[in-house]
Amino acid sequence: MLGSALLSGCGHKRTPAPVPTPPSLPQQKEKPAATPPAETTGENEKIEVPAGAKPIFEQTGMASWYGAPYHNRRGSNGEVYNMHAMTAAHLTLPLGSIVRVTNLKSGHSALVRITDRGPFVVGRIVDLSLAAAKALDVYLPGTAKVRLEVLQAPASLETGGRWAVQIGSFNGQKAAAELAEHLQKRYQTAKVVKFVSPVGDWWVRVRVLDDDRQRATTLAHETETAEGSVFLVRLD
């Protein structure tokens, strides 16, 4: 097990990470979208589930959305992210899962496919594409409380999977590099990398031995940083 090496973490007292604001809206005024059907999919996007499909997992929390900086860039599932398709990012659901998201304030629902990882903001459970955000009345306010229901998943939600820990965000490369070096020295069997996001902040990802879920969970619980937050993520 990789376990106790970070009980003392980086030796710094944790300070809250700044919470990113929702993506900037276009400057031009936009007319409110017409009221969508009870459930909708994006243009040219066909997401189907068997009639009467029952949720296999439910979660309630805050949704946000992500758009232009990530548009046409490769997502976690290997596909090029299209913000005009009905997709979403989630930290731990298997990639390819079909999820019904319901805005608890407006009652509007939409089916989305999980294609990416995120949101990497404490307190948020799902990051919607631009199309999904518009369908769910999340686009203009930026965030909304939603209910998430998994209707289909290509793999077990409870067992298996490839797991890692992602830490960030850091304002500069130096802080990310120092943490990556610190972790690599203590977790010699892990693969530690640092990388910059499309919006310019820096992240550190730790892939534990065998991408094991329990090892990653232990590392996530024991890690503290002076800058940024720690997230358990599923890679597949």
Same domain, 66 and 164: no
Alpha-carbon span 74 to 82, nearest angstrom: 9
From its phi and psi, is residue 122 left (phi > 0), alpha (psi between -120 and 50) or beta?
beta
Nearest residue to 109 via CA among 67, 84, 138: 138
| pLDDT digits 0-9 by tens, 78-135 | 999 999 999 999 999 999 999 999 999 999 999 999 999 999 999 999 999 999 999 9
Q: 46 CB contacts (<8 Å, ≥6 apart)?
A: none
- Domain annotation covers residue 34: no
With a cut of 50, say whether residue 220 has pLDDT above it.
yes
Same domain, 166 and 120: no
Question: Do you know the residue count of the chain?
Answer: 236
State the CATH number of the domain containing residue 50: 2.40.40.10
Same domain, 142 and 164: no
- Domain annotation covers residue 8: no
| pLDDT digits 0-9 by tens, 132-162 | 999 999 999 999 999 999 999 999 999 999 9
Alpha-carbon span 132 to 138, nearest angstrom: 8
Query: Which residue range(s) make up the domain with 200?
Result: 160-234
Same domain, 224 and 123: no
Helix, strand, coil percentages in the chain from 3-state DSSP, rounded to 5:
15, 30, 55
Give me the number of domains the chain comprises: 2
